[in-house]
């Protein structure tokens, strides 16, 4: 990772150029830097999927936006033409891409995006907080509300609870009326997760996971699991699900070759659900909750963009709680 000069983006029909005021890091940035099988990029590549800023220029065919408008970017990119897009399921688009992953992203002074990817933010929402919301909150919202159908009174278990999607999920879980059990590591992270509203916090370095879940719940089981850990925890997560339980996966930081005992699946009638990003409508719904202050991004720290290599190391070594934000 290095700072360098790149040609300024050029406007095209239906696009805008945004002056980036803040860009947030994700584990996706780490995966792209390491190399994702099947992903071929033009180098040098610019990462950065989550960003907020001000419109610097408006392209032909764009009438609803003007220079200076404060916006956050929806990092999902969809074709608008396939059967899934026509059905309002943009994250299932047959040509789905993500800003900063498949195309050059927003870790720069300027970025060009389709006008349909803009969402207006109020003056009361700082750019750093706005930048820390779009990818993680839309992912958590779709996973819990749309895919898992989390209901009031249910028990939700969130793994990797210090991460961006997980800190969003804890808040969405409490907003929906669920009891939230969060799994993280370390005394400091446990305290921060508890401050976010988690009802029960399990320190995976200090507690026996299955015993802690059993002791924390009335039935000894949970209704919904939101997981990004993958291989290392999967057998225990499946076992802790109650009848009609749902496990929703959006990542696999410890490996993707998870084992699954099908006897648990058919006997307890479990659902194994995958999820990625969200539809445009889901993104706009959750951003309304951000704008109103009902949900709020957790910003670990704000650094200068010149420290992007240090920021990657910080995230890679597990020293970030919530989101690390960079400012060009």
**Helix (H), strand (E) at residue 18:** strand 15-24
Q: Quick one: pLDDT at residue 253?
A: 87
How far, in Å, CA of 142 to CA of 165, rounded? 11
State pLDDT tens for residues 274-327.
999 999 999 999 999 999 999 999 999 999 999 999 999 999 999 999 999 999
Q: What DSSP character marks residue 144?
A: I
Residue 204: CA count within 13 A, CB half-sphere = 16
pTM of this structure: 0.96
Instruction: Evaluate if residue 210 carries a pLDDT over 90.
Output: no
- Tokens (6 digits) for 185: 């590591």
Res. 207 pLDDT band, cuts 50 70 90 = confident
- Tokens (6 digits) for 16: 């805008």
State pLDDT tens for residues 113-149.
999 999 999 999 999 999 999 999 999 999 999 999 9
Residues in the chain: 328
Region at 89 (left for phi over 0; alpha for psi -120 to 50; beta for the rest): beta
- Tokens (6 digits) for 100: 């900063």
């Amino acid at each position: 990772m290095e700072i360098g000069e790149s040609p300024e983006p050029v406007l095209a029909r239906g696009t805008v150029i945004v002056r980036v005021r803040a860009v947030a890091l994700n584990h996706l940035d780490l995966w792209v830097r390491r190399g994702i099988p099947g992903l071929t990029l033009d180098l040098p590549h610019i990462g950065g999927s989550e960003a907020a800023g001000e419109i610097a220029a408006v392209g032909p065919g764009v009438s609803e936006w003007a220079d200076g408008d404060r916006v956050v970017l929806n990092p999902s990119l969809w074709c608008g033409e396939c059967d899934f897009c026509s059905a309002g399921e943009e994250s299932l688009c047959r040509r789905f891409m993500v800003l900063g992953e498949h195309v050059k992203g927003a870790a720069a002074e300027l970025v060009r995006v389709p006008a349909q990817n803009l969402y207006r933010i109020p003056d009361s929402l700082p750019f750093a907080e706005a930048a820390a919301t779009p990818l993680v909150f839309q992912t958590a919202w779709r996973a819990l509300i749309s895919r898992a159908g989390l209901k009031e009174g249910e028990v939700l278990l969130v793994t990797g609870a210090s991460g961006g999607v997980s800190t969003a999920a804890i808040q969405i879980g409490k907003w929906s009326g669920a009891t939230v059990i969060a799994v993280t590591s370390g005394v400091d992270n446990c305290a921060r997760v508890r401050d976010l509203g988690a009802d029960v916090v399990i320190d995976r370095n200090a507690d026996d996971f299955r015993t802690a879940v059993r002791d924390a719940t009335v039935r000894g089981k949970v209704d919904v699991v939101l997981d990004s850990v993958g291989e290392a925890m999967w057998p225990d997560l499946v076992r802790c699900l109650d009848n009609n339980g749902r496990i929703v996966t959006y990542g696999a930081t410890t490996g993707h070759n998870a084992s699954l005992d099908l006897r648990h699946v058919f006997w307890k009638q479990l659902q194994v659900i995958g999820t990625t990003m969200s539809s445009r409508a889901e993104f706009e719904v959750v951003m309304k909750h951000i704008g109103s202050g009902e949900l709020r991004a957790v910003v670990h720290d704000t650094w200068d963009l010149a420290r992007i290599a240090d920021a990657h190391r910080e995230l890679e070594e597990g020293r970030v709680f919530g989101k690390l934000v960079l400012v060009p």
